[in-house]
Amino acid sequence: MSLKGWKELPPGGVILEAGNSIKYKTGTWRSIRPVWNKDKCINCFMCWLHCPDGSILVRDNKVSGINYDYCKGCGVCAAICPKSAIEMKPESLFEEGEKK
């Protein structure tokens, strides 16, 4: 997303589009990324319970992945996982395009 210049912005920092916070991808703050290993996961939901950003995705009562748009990389999920199914890896290992 390209940033706007001062001539294009509504004066006073007013946001004219309601409900646009969904566009603010806090996942861009992340420097380390949780990588989930499906084979090790026992679906205990400890990660889901502790994730401060609600970024552990669940489908049909099973963990289905991680929402990298909003995951800030805090590492709580990896620390709490009893089976070490989540590993924290530096963002630099991933391609720029892959980082949402």
**Contacts with another protein, residue ranges (CB under 8 A):** 3-6, 9-19
CB of 5 to another protein, least distance (A): 7
CB of 3 to another protein, least distance (A): 6
- Residue 10 or 65: the one with the smaller Cβ distance to another protein is 10
- Residue 2 or 84: the one with the smaller Cβ distance to another protein is 2
CB of 38 to another protein, least distance (A): 36
- Residue 12 or 82: the one with the smaller Cβ distance to another protein is 12
Measuring CA to CA, which residue among 37, 36, 25, 33 is closest to residue 73?
A: 33
What burial letters (b/e) apply to 44-76, b meaning 16+ CB within 10 Å? eebbbeebebebbeeeeeebeebebebbbbbeb
Can you say how many angstroms the Cα of residue 11 is from the centroid of all Cα atoms in its chain? 31
